[in-house]
């Protein structure tokens, strides 16, 4: 159960980071936020798989 909650929170954080990055003008902060958000997705997938097993 806790793994599912962690996965949901990680998806929420990634979503908020992408939303914030899309509002920023082009620059290093936008690239950094987007990169970190997409790096969270495989970690989230691992928690989803763990929650389902």
Q: What is the mean pLDDT of each run of 10 residues along the chain (53 residues)?
A: 96 97 95 96 96 94
What is the rounded CA–CA span in Å between residue 40 and residue 34? 10
The answer to whether 37 and 18 are in contact (CB under 8 A) is: yes
The answer to whether 46 and 4 are in contact (CB under 8 A) is: no
| Residue from 21, 42, 19 nearest 31 by CA | 21
What is the rounded CA–CA span in Å between residue 53 and residue 50? 5
The pLDDT value recorded for residue 32 is 96
For residue 49, give both structure tokens.
């798989």
Instruction: Tell me the residue range of the domain where 12 lies.
Output: 2-52
Domain count, the chain: 1
The pLDDT value recorded for residue 2 is 95
């Amino acid at each position: 159960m806790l793994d599912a909650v962690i996965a949901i929170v990680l998806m929420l954080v990634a979503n908020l980071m992408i939303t914030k990055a899309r509002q920023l003008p082009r620059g290093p902060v936008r690239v950094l936020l987007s990169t970190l958000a997409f790096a969270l997705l495989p970690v989230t997938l691992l928690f989803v798989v763990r929650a389902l097993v």
